[in-house]
Amino acid sequence: MSNQQINRMRYAEADDGVAPPPRLLLGLAIALLGLFAIGIIAALLVMILRPAPSQLLEIGIIAVPVIVIGTLLASVLFRRWLPRRFTVILVALWLIAAIVGGTAFIVVFRNNLAPGQRETVKNYLPFMEIFAPPLPPADTSLPTPMPESQSGISAEDLLSDPLGSGLSTPLPPTELPQVIAPTTPSQEPTQAATVMPTATPVVTATLPPTQAAIAPTQANTFAVSANLPPVRPSAHRLYGITAVKQGWNNCGPANITMALSYYGWKQDQEVAVSYLKPDREDKNVNPWELVDFVRSQSGVLALTRIGGDMELLKQIISNGFPVVIETGYLYEGSDWLGHYQTVVGYDDALRVFYIYDSYLGAGENGSGIPESYEDFDRYWQNFNRTFVVLYRAEEEITIRTLLGDRADVTRAAEIALQTAQEEARANPQNAFAWFNLGSSFAALGEYEKAASAFDKARQLGTLPWRITLYQFGPFESYYNVGRYDDIVFLVDSNFNNGGQYVEEIWYWQGKVLAARGETAQAASSFRQALQRHPGFAAAAEALKSLPAT
């Protein structure tokens, strides 16, 4: 018997009468099995690495076209072993998946993704911008106050108000932080700033109210001197600062990382992000949070003040200290935004400051982006000329001598108030001047006057709608004078425009609800604030103080 006959007999014995599966079905089964295996591997990687949602989205945007192109190439390379029309069918299936999946993705992109996640998508797929939910028009301003609730104090009377009079809540004095000089001070900056942050840092910011947040650990009095140059140079540049390109909405962490690099800090901005923004969608990092991060995590000291001026910045920079400012800005293609910048130099002859901007870059050859004194101060005014300065422990006397009167936090607020008065008198239509007047009165505890100034600023109708996503003086002032409807009005306006990602908005909503006896709703708002920022001490304390329901 021949071998051929033997093989036929074997096949006949093995034949169970069931026809073999179609090659097309077999090919599809293999393809699905491959995709299933890829899914299992991806799920295991997610469980092990635990990427943030935006990182996972980024991986998905890259992985989908790789898988599609890979399967199409494989169908071509292995066409001899696949059904004749397999590639055509596969292309048709991917087209159907693209139409159905693309439509679903557009719906999710518009309605379900957080702002930062939408930015991740637009980085890879710029055309998705046309599907993004609309923002308020660029000329939209902060809502004006309700006429029936406005303060009875004349706003014009505030322009001649004596400084520091009529404090409704006197500010408690704060003590000079104890500074322990190192036993072997080093001249190398890297020795003072390489303290590693803890793996799970605890955020200790206690905010708001304003008077507790301005400088909870900083001196209120100072009466020593230091040996300073008798005359500052007409130009000066700080070297040794590493430029950092920010992630989405990360100007605070990026700029504080830049400033710390001057002292040898080697960590990237993700360290600051994990501490300052437990919720990556958080739209705002406050100056005192930056100070808290520096003091608790870096081995360097920092303080923040309002009411700075350009001459003070020049004095600080020329004495070798990095400064971060909080400022307003209008980037091309965008409306008004709050922003942080690191000031690295100045030149009186050219009348410019040199800026490291975490969004725009570090300028030509890393020399800093030049910004005219006029533009610099105009935008800095938007945040009451707030600044953060970093220094070593052994430089405490020097930095506070440079600050002069502003070493005292109350005096710094009075200086800011006086500046705002002068600017509002010079231009009564300057809404930022009136807003700064309100912020300064709030910092001094004069809430009736602050509320009147905020009313005036809002009545002018030119304040950008985002301003109360960054500055919370109106909430604090209206709360302390019992104008709860105004707070609800501003809270609702913010929630319609991204305020749900700002823990302070939830906090002030909770404060109003608690004041009105709506305990369960207040507790929910405080929990939302803590979900956004688990270290938000003011919200935790407010939640704890609620009566049992």
Query: Nearest Cα to 390, choosing from 275, 285, 287?
Result: 287
Residue showing tokens 């009348």: 351
pLDDT band at 496 (very low <50, low <70, confident <90, very high): confident
pLDDT of 170 strictly over 50: no
What sign for the dihedral angle of Cα 339, 529, 491, 54?
positive
- Give the pLDDT confidence of 205-225 residue by residue, as tens digits: 344 444 343 343 344 444 445
Distance from CA of residue 309 to its chain's centroid? 24
- Better pLDDT: 116 or 376: 376
Apex 487 CA angle, 486 and 490, nearest 5? 90
Classify each residue of 428-467 as buried b or exposed e, where b means 16 or more C-beta atoms within 10 Å of its C-beta: eebbbbbbbbbbbbbbbbbbbbbbbbbbbbbbbeebbbbb
Cα–Cα distance list, 545 to 478, 492, 511 (Å)? 21, 25, 11
Q: What is the 8-class DSSP label of residue 344? A: E
| pLDDT for the residue 205 | 38
Report percent pLDDT > 90 for the chain. Answer: 49
Which residues face 346 on adjacent strands?
Answer: 236, 353
Query: Nearest Cα to 536, choosing from 548, 546, 526, 521?
Result: 526
CATH architecture of 182-203+236-406: Alpha-Beta Complex (3.90)
| pLDDT for the residue 148 | 57
Cα–Cα distance list, 251 to 183, 325, 330, 382 (Å)? 36, 11, 14, 16
Q: What token pair was written down for 522?
A: 């207040």
CA dihedral 282, 358, 210, 308 (to 10 degrees): -170
Q: What token pair was written down for 250?
A: 């990360």
- Better pLDDT: 130 or 260: 260
147-156+412-545 fold? 1.25.40
Q: CA-CA distance, 413 to 14, in Å (whole number)? A: 94
Average pLDDT over residues 19-38: 69
Residues 6 or more apart whose Cβ sits within 8 Å of residue 134? none
pLDDT band at 54 (very low <50, low <70, confident <90, very high): low
Cα–Cα distance list, 469 to 1, 282, 453, 505 (Å)? 91, 10, 18, 8
Which residues face 390 on adjacent strands?
Answer: 302
- Burial class from Cβ neighbours inside 10 Å (0-12, 13-18, 19+) for residue 523 reads middle
Q: Which amino acid is at 240?
A: G
Specify the length of the chain in residues.
549
Domain boundaries defined on the chain: 21-131, 147-156+412-545, 182-203+236-406
- Give the pLDDT confidence of 352-395 residue by residue, as tens digits: 999 999 989 999 889 999 999 999 999 999 999 999 999 999 99
Average pLDDT over residues 21-31: 67
